[in-house]
Structures are given as C-alpha cells and as structure tokens.
Amino acid sequence: MIPETNGDSGAFTDEAVWSRLDAAHLPLGPFSDTTIDRLIRSARLGSAPRILDIGCGLGAWILRALELHPDAHGVGIDISRKYMDRAVADAERRGLGERFVGHVGDAWDMDLSEEGFDLVICVGLSDPLGGTEKVLRELIRPRLRDGGLILLGEPFWERPPNQVAQRALGVSAERYPDADGVYDRVMAGGGLPIDVHVSTITEWDEYMWACVRALAEWGLDDAPHEQRAGILRFMADYRDAWLREIRGTLGFTTLLLRPLPLPLSILTGRRPDWAAKPRTR
C-alpha cells in the first residue's frame, strides 16, 4: 500500500515493513479497532456464521470477527507464510485457535468446494488480484452463501497524485479511481454498498507512524550492525514519502456490500449523466 522499495538496497518491500508491526497495530492498513468493530457489527451476522478473510494479513479483521461472534468459524488465506504464522499464533493466544483455519497460498487457488460463507472480507488487495470488478465477480461472489455479505477495502485518490507520489507508491495515476470511481467499480462488480467507512487522517497517521516506529526500532535496536544504516535510511525515506507526497493524496475506503444479480445491479447502479435527476425529498 505504501512504497514498495526505496533507497539503494532495494531489499525493502511492504512485507519488510508489515512483518515488523507489533500487536499495537495488527491491521495492515489505516483502520482503528473501532472501525473494524463497527463494520463487522454492521454486517448483522446471524447465528454460527462462517467467515472468510481473503488476504487476511496478521488476522486483524477475521480474528476480531471471531471474538465478536463466539459461535462463528473463520477461514483466512494469505500468500505470506510469515503473516499467517503470526495470525495462527495470535488466534491461539486469544483462545480462537479451534475456530480459525489459516491457509497459505494464492487466493485464486482457493478450493471452491468448501461450504459457502456468510461474510467474505477482502481488504486491501483487489488491485494485485486483478481489479475490483474481477475480484467481486470471480473470487468473492462464488464463495458466498445466500444472504451473504462482503466487506471490501479499496484504495482511492483523495486528490490527483503528482509524479513523485506515483513513484513513491509504485503505481500510476490510472491504477486507482477517485472516491466516486470506487462506487462505479464496485457496482460494476455487482455489489450494492449498504455501509461505508472512509479511513480518517487520524487512522492513516496511526497506521503510518506504527510502520515508521517499527522500522526505527528495527534499525536502532534489533538489526545486525552492518544492516542498520540501510534500514534507517529506508525508514527516513518511507516517512518522508508519507509526509510530503502521500498524506492526503492516497485514501482508503471499506464498503459493506450486498451482492446483486445483474438485473438488480442495473436498476440500482448510477443514472447516466444525461438522465434527468429525480427529487429525493
């Protein structure tokens, strides 16, 4: 979500940063605990729900969902073994081990024969998985039970990114939509938004400073001496890319969606610009 590589070493990736986040900030994105609780509660799941978290990272969403629903069962999948090992260990520590199954692998290779899910969470990875519309139609919706809901988290531009911001993030301006464009993509994928959270600047600051702090502690306290200078230089570039280029430019929104069949998604989609706008009050 934030600079892929920076500085001379080229060895730093999102994984290098995220795997150093500690229990003080488990979400790999700009979400407070309050936001996660509110959106999970907003899904109003029934009894003994089954929950799938695609790209679950350190398990921030799925493990909290299992805590909020003591009769729920959860499945997480993530391509990173490092994150999954930590998610599984955290599930054990929080007494959720019996109700959580973690798979390491590519989300597209997931077994479809499993029973469907009442809630599918997919926060922060539609872009590497091929785009919002494809992910909704081909990856998420086939895994839902009747009546199941989706929690989808998507980046967007708060304002058009300049060249420096695009380079720092390793993405072109066209890659993400603006805030309104997220709705277009979601509805094109057959999802009807029924609740939405837009990450606040405070959530962004808490998340990004947790990353900077983790890098600083790594470089100052934990890394072998010969690596320290490279890590601290990366930390400083990461921090300054955030403060100067990305803060206020990159946004993030998490939507609770009901899947709709095609005829209904046409009915509930955007009116074209040429159509007369009805009165709403």
Ligand X SMILES: C[S@@+](CC[C@H](N)C(=O)[O-])C[C@H]1O[C@@H](n2cnc3c(N)ncnc32)[C@H](O)[C@@H]1O
**Residue 208 or residue 260: which is nearer to ligand X going by CB?**
208
Report the residue from 33, 106, 138, 222 that binds ligand X according to the rule CB under 6 A. Answer: 106
Q: Which stretch binds ligand X (CB under 6 A): 44-52, 56-64, 189-197, 241-249?
A: 56-64
3-state secondary structure (DSSP) of residue 254: strand
Which is closer to ligand X, CB of 14 or CB of 184?
Answer: 14
What's the token pair of residue 8?
Answer: 């001379």
Among 56, 169, 210, 256, binds ligand X (CB under 6 A): 56
Q: Give dist(CA 114, CA 77) in Å, integer.
A: 13
**Closer CB to ligand X, 29 or 189, in the complex:** 29
Residue carrying structure tokens 């001379």: 8
Of 74-82, 112-120, 170-178, 241-249, which segment contacts ligand X by CB under 6 A?
Answer: 74-82
Q: How far is the CB of 78 from ligand X (least distance, A)?
A: 5
Rounded to 5 degrees, what angle do the CA atoms 10, 15, 18 make? 125
Rounded to whole angstroms, the Cα distance separating 87 from 134 reads: 27
Query: In the complex, what is the shortest distance from the CB of residue 128 to ligand X, in angstroms, rounded to a whole number?
Result: 5
Contact pattern for ligand X over residues 16 through 35, marking x by CB under 6 A? -----------xxx------
Nearer to ligand X, 103 or 233 (CB): 103
What's the rounded Cα separation, in Å, for the pair 106 and 121? 15
Least Cβ distance, residue 261 to ligand X (angstroms): 27
Considering only 1, 91, 140, 215, the residue that binds ligand X (CB under 6 A) is: 1
Query: Rounded to whole angstroms, how far apart are CA atoms 218 and 206?
Result: 18
Phi-psi category of residue 170: left, alpha or beta, with phi > 0 → left and psi -120 to 50 → alpha: left
Binds ligand X by CB under 6 A, chosen from 78, 203, 237, 245: 78
- Contacting positions for ligand X (CB under 6 A): 1, 27-29, 55-57, 60-61, 77-80, 83, 106-107, 123-125, 128-129
